[in-house]
Amino acid sequence: MHRIAVIPGDGIGPEVIEQALLVLDKVSSKFGVKFEYVFIDAGGCAIDKFGVPIREEDLDLVKKCSATLLGAVGGPKWDTLPGNLRPEQALLKLRGGLKVYANLRPAVLYDELKDSSPLKKEIVNRGIDILVVRELIGGMYFGPKGREKRNGEEVAYDTEIYSTSEIERIARVAFEAARKRKKKVTSVDKANILESSRLWREVVERLAKEYPDVELSHMYVDNASMQLVKDPSQFDVILTSNMFGDILSDEASMIVGSIGMLASASLGEGRVGLYEPIHGTAPDIAGQDLANPIATILSAAMMLRYSFDMEDAAIAVENAVKIALKEGYRTRDIYTENCKLVGTKQMGKIICENI
């Protein structure tokens, strides 16, 4: 029996989560495991209900589950609230509270969806299969920050800060992941300017000695943002900090052309994990059965793999998605000519049937 904290969140969150849970139900009956769902309010809906992005008691509940599946949080409605009352704070509290330091974001180009990429055919045809390994509970996101008066004017600051052990543990995740892939790690930093990047580079270099079978290279973040567009096929695993990872993983997800397809896993020590699609709440299409549930369904597959060690079930879900695509089913965001347009629910149903 696995207890899963389920956080539908805002916007299209609840709709896509609903389909992911149907998929998990199907997995449950096929593979003879039991899932218990603990529903938690977090994000904008929690602000509306309780006045906070996530209640402490709910965070405690989440910590007691073996994994968390999250839809998406946020929306324009809450965008003008002060910083500590924003829906995004729920994400930070969950990440920090669960100590999930390793954010894995695969950006994979599906053969069937090549046309959706904004990049030219010549580039796309070389293939895109990148795993961004982003540090998730350090750096500027969690470092000291504040405001003060200096020389009579307001000044605000944030601190990008990393310790050796923080760098080491995330680098280890990248090297281990590369071993199961094409054995290439590109560590992205700004070591020509940042002291934190220089430490980053040293620690990664040192750790690389334990992984002689993995090829390590370093790249400045400005160059990485160019190379991702110029020739994404050069990348296998990208290892980077919280802030740079935020920017580069979004760029990587855009070049594969289908942000509605992309899952993510955030892992800590042991099997704890937070799983979520990388897309946002898409308030403009919420509640209209238009959202693509695949990113959330694939996030659930990652949960099966990383938190429950159910590799077979994970592959079954991933294959079910591939079959749906092969058969031409598309939600609006990935629709191209001659395909079969379906809504959120029908896409979920088709994928369930394919398992």
Ligand X SMILES: CC(C)[C@H](C(=O)O)[C@@H](O)C(=O)O
CB atoms within 10 A of CB 161: 15
Tell me how far, at minimum, the Cβ of 125 lies from ligand X, in Å. 29
DSSP string, 35-47: EEEEE---SHHHH
| Given the residues 37, 250, 289, 345, the one annotated as active site | 250
Q: Is 146 in the site for a second copy (CB under 8 A)?
A: yes
Q: Is 8 marked as a binding-site residue?
A: no
Site for a second copy in 165-184 (CB under 8 A): 165
Whose CA is closest to 261, among 329, 312, 175? Answer: 329
Tokens coding 293: 């549930």
Number of residues that bind a second copy (CB under 8 A): 58
Per DSSP, the three-state class of 278 is coil
Residue 153: exposure state from Cβ atoms within 10 A (0-12, 13-18, ≥19):
exposed
Cβ distance to ligand X smaller for residue 88 or 176: 88
Q: Is 85 in the site for ligand X (CB under 6 A)?
A: no
* In contact, 191 and 197? CB cutoff 8 Å: yes
62 vs 56: CA distance, rounded Å: 10
Number of residues that bind ligand X (CB under 6 A): 6
Q: Is 115 marked as a binding-site residue?
A: no
Specify whether 190 is catalytic: yes
Name residue 246's amino acid. Answer: D
167 vs 244: CA distance, rounded Å: 14
Which residue in 12, 16, 91, 267 binds ligand X (CB under 6 A)? 91
Which residue in 79, 222, 309, 312 binds ligand X (CB under 6 A)? 222
Q: Is 222 in the site for a second copy (CB under 8 A)?
A: yes
Which residue in 122, 192, 213, 337 binds ligand X (CB under 6 A)? 192
CA angle, 131 then 132 then 134, to 5°: 145
Binding track, positions 193-212, relative to a second copy; x by CB under 8 A: xxxx-xxx------------
14 vs 5: CA distance, rounded Å: 14
338 vs 242: CA distance, rounded Å: 40
Residues annotated as part of the active site:
141, 190, 222, 246, 250
Chain positions contacting a second copy, by CB under 8 A: 83, 86, 88, 92, 117-121, 123, 140-141, 143, 145-147, 150, 153-165, 190, 192-196, 198-200, 221-223, 225-226, 229-230, 243-244, 246-251, 253-255, 259
Chain positions contacting ligand X, by CB under 6 A: 88, 91, 192-193, 222, 246
Binding-site positions for NAD(+) read: 75-88
Binding-site positions for Mg(2+) read: 222, 246, 250
